[in-house]
Amino acid sequence: MRIGIFGAGGMAEALGGQWAATGHEVMIAARDQAKADALAGKISARAGTWEETARASEVILLAVPAPSAPEVLAVAGKSVAGKMLIDCTNAVGPGATLTAPDQAARIAAAAPDAHVVKAFNLCDVDVWRMTPPVFGGRPLAVPLCGSPEAVEVVSSLVRDIGCTPLNAGGLDRARLMEATMAFMVGLWFDGHDAQACFPPLPV
Ligand SMILES: NC(=O)c1ccc[n+]([C@@H]2O[C@H](COP(=O)([O-])OP(=O)(O)OC[C@H]3O[C@@H](n4cnc5c(N)ncnc54)[C@H](OP(=O)(O)O)[C@@H]3O)[C@@H](O)[C@H]2O)c1
């Protein structure tokens, strides 16, 4: 698949690196061209402007800070239309509060002709670097919210990094994933064992 990535930071490197290593064509766009070039060189990808990257891609991973996402999408412009747009952004402020109550809806409003899928926001970047992310013998489950067609496409990219996709419903449910992330991170920051809230079900 032709995958564009907006951003050249940790998430871009982790997921872009995995997808490039599994044979996808990855293209990086960032506000600093030198950083886009450097990451592209590191993970065997190409680099381009926001617009070039969007135009060349079937799927775009939005991996910039949540507040800047609408601005980046505005610069990329019409080239984002019709594309699968993966929103992994977390609008989280101090004290693990949500700074935007429905970030995925903001992304969808900024790119009304794209097919937005919320995914990859629940785990830390170091989890996305794992090859594969498997815990206690169980592959990491990755919930996705979006239209069934878009979720199906992005699910194949989840499988490619050794994880199990979970169709978690429409994009209207993305706000639940965003709130879950903030709530769990808040527990974790407070020193609690957040993972123990979800014991494995007996098989
Ligand atoms: N880190 C995690 O554990 C994690 C996990 C799940 C989801 N996420 C989400 O993934 C997204 C990316 O996180 P990350 O960890 O990859 O962040 P990061 O390492 O800080 O990288 C952020 C990227 O966005 C760029 N950027 C920053 N401000 C920008 C602006 N105003 N306009 C355009 N580009 C801008 C940065 O460019 P410069 O290098 O020039 O600053 C960099 O390329 C965030 O929305 C975050 O909430 C992160």
SS3 assignment for the chain? CEEEEECCCHHHHHHHHHHHHCCCEEEEECCCHHHHHHHHHHCCCEECCHHHHHHHCCEEEECCCHHHHHHHHHHHHHHHCCCEEEECCCCEEHHHEECCCCHHHHHHHHCCCCEEEECCCCCCHHHHCCCCCEECCEECEEEEECCHHHHHHHHHHHHHCCCEEEECCCHHHHHHHHHHHHHHHHHHHCCCCHHHHCCCCCC
Structure tokens at 75: 């610069």
**Residue 198: per-residue pLDDT:** 86
Confirm or reject: Cβ of 63 under 6 Å from ligand 1. yes
The CA 160 to ligand 1 mean position distance, Å, reads: 23
> Which of 59, 57, 108, 58 has its CA nearest to residue 86?
59
Q: Quickly tell me which residue has 């979720």 as its tokens.
A: 151
CB-CB neighbours of 150 under 10 Å: 22
Residue 17 has pLDDT above 90, yes or no: yes
Confidence of residue 195 (pLDDT cuts 50, 70, 90): confident
- On average, the pLDDT of the chain sits at 96
Distance 8 CA to ligand 1 centre (A): 7
Residue nearest to atom 15 of ligand 1 (CA): 10
Report whether residue 64 contacts ligand 1, using a CB cutoff of 6 Å. Answer: yes
**Residue of the nearest CA to atom 5 in ligand 1?**
124
What is the average per-residue pLDDT within 99-117?
A: 96
Q: pLDDT-derived band of residue 7, with 50, 70 and 90 as boundaries?
A: very high
Position 113 pLDDT exceeds 80: yes
Test site for ligand 1: of 61, 124, 125, 177, most ligand atoms within 8 A of the Cβ:
125
Residue 47 neighbours by CB under 8 Å, 6+ apart: 27, 28, 29, 30, 33, 36, 37, 39, 40, 53
Q: If you average pLDDT over residues 135-160, what whole number do you get?
A: 97
Kindly state if the Cβ of 17 falls inside 6 Å of ligand 1. no
CB 86 within 8 A of CB 151: no
The CATH fold of domain 2-192 = Rossmann fold (3.40.50)
pLDDT at 116 over 90: yes
Judge if the beta carbon of residue 7 lies within 6 A of ligand 1.
yes
* Ligand 1 close to Cβ of residue 10 (< 6 A): yes
Asked if 133 and 127 count as a contact pair (C-beta separation under 8 A), the reply is yes
Ligand 1 centroid distance, CA of 9 (Å): 5
When pLDDT is averaged across residues 30-55 and rounded to a whole number, the result is 98
CB within 8 Å of 17: residues ≥ 6 apart:
42, 43, 129
What band does 145 get if pLDDT is binned at 50, 70 and 90?
A: very high
**Is the pLDDT at 64 greater than 90, yes or no?**
yes
pLDDT score, position 144: 98
pLDDT band at 58 (very low <50, low <70, confident <90, very high): very high
Question: Rounded mean pLDDT of 132-139?
Answer: 94
Instruction: Kindly give the distance from the C-alpha atom of residue 7 to the centroid of ligand 1, in angstroms, as a whole number.
Output: 6
Q: How large is the average pLDDT for residues 7-29?
A: 98
- Give me the residues paired with residue 145 across strands: 118
pLDDT tens string 149-185: 999 999 999 999 999 999 999 999 999 999 999 999 9
Domain residue ranges in the chain:
2-192
* Ligand 1 closest atom vs CA 67: 31
Atom nearest to 65 CA in ligand 1:
45
**pLDDT band at residue 87, thresholds of 50, 70 and 90?**
very high
| Tokens read off for 42 | 């590191």
138 — pLDDT class (breaks 50, 70, 90): very high
Per-residue pLDDT, averaged over 94-119, amounts to 95
Residue with tokens 């450097």: 38
Q: How far is the CA of 175 from the centre of ligand 1 (A)?
A: 20
Which tokens go with 103? Answer: 């970030």
